[in-house]
Amino acid sequence: MRLVRSEFLKIRTTNVWWLFALGAVGLLVVAFAANALNMHFVLQPPTEAGQTMDPEQAAVLKALADPVALTSYMVTSGQYFGLMFVMLLGIITVTNEFHHQTATTTFLATPHRTSVIVAKAVAGGIFGIVLWLVTTALTVPATAIFLESEGITPVLGDSEVIRAVLLNGLAYALWALIGIGIGVLIRSQIGATITAMVVYTVGTAAVSIIVNLLVTALDWDWLANVQWAMPSLASNLMTSGANLPGQPAYWVGALVLVGWAVVTGLVGTLLTRSRDIS
């Protein structure tokens, strides 16, 4: 417990946490506006677009227009960047120790290194959950206002929406652990943050595109499911609320994400335990 307090103090006594929180909230506003615009066209498709749409796409749009899916989608706005910042914070809690050579001090105070990693995971998870609370507190009223203005009654009390919101919180917590694992693997602060950001943004898009191209080229439909192994897409899947056509169920996303967090956390812990600190 005192280790968690120490790790939390480490986060709190530098500027990083509020810069990240500010960044996450700022990008939340942008993401919410973009999602709102997107949904506006889903709800009122321009007539000419409606004619050219293939039936599969129309089915997806129809499912999205369902109030439950719509509410989940809007309420979990900002997840994409929020998760990225939580991951970056997780990375930084580890790489800071090497960048500023404080690992020595940390492991002198606590020779049991596993406890240090656990404390970092808990502190990072708490940061993630606080960020989730803040973003949710902003998106809930904003979603209500937006949906009302579109003439749809928001279903914020729906069990699937609540599930999506809670799983979103889980995602925020787990991404800290993923970040910690990455930070242990790549000790260089700049190296770890840039690698993680590139994989998170470009990598996610690239996997999506490559998988879709392969599916079209080879006509292997099962291949489309490979993309859900990407932790960022899995997080999105987990919080999509209603099942959309052509997507696995939400719990597949949850399992994938938990799997990633466990693997990165374990690898990170084992590496930290055996590594010489000099």
Partner 1 sequence: MLPRLRARAVSPAREAVIGPGEDPAVVLAAEGAPQHSHRRRVEPEPVAGHDSQWWNRDGIAMAVLAPAKHTVRMGNVITDGEIVVSGLTKHYKQVKAVDGLSFTIKPGRVTGFLGPNGAGKTTTLRMILNLVSPNAGTATIGGSRYADLAEPLRAVGAVLEASSAHKGRTGRNHLRVICAAAGLPASRADEAMELVGLTPAAKRKFKGYSLGMRQRLGIAAAMLGDPRVLILDEPANGLDPEGIRWMRDLLQKLAGEGRTILVSSHLLSEMELLADDVVIIAAGRLVAQGPVAEVMGNAGNVGTVRVRTPHPDTLLGALDGVGSSRGDDGALVLTGVTAEQVGDAALRAGVAIHELVTERPDLERVFLDLTAGKEAIR
Our CB check for partner 1 shows the closer of 35 and 106 to be 106
Task: Return the structure tokens found at 271.
Answer: 């590496």
Q: Which stretch binds partner 1 (CB under 8 A): 34-42, 69-77, 104-112, 253-261?
A: 104-112
For partner 1, the binding residues in 4-23 under the rule CB under 8 A are 5-6, 9-10, 13-15
Among 49, 57, 100, 137, binds partner 1 (CB under 8 A): 100
Phi, psi at residue 110, to the nearest 5°? Answer: -135, 90
CB of 103 to partner 1, least distance (A): 8
Q: Which of 38, 44, 57, 102 touches partner 1 by CB under 8 A?
A: 102
Cα separation, 85 vs 76, in Å, equals 15
**Measured from the CB atom, is 114 or 149 closer to partner 1?**
114
DSSP annotation of 228: G
Q: Is 240 helix (H, G, I), strand (E, B) or coil?
A: coil
- Measured CA to CA, the distance from residue 24 to residue 22 in angstroms comes to 5
Footprint of partner 1 on residues 112-141 (CB under 8 A)? Answer: 112
8 Å CB contact between 233 and 260: no
Q: Does 235 bind partner 1 (CB under 8 A)?
A: no
CA dihedral over 126, 24, 84, 136, signed as positive or negative: positive
Residues in contact with partner 1 by the rule CB under 8 A: 2-3, 5-6, 9-10, 13-15, 96, 100-102, 104-112, 274, 276-278
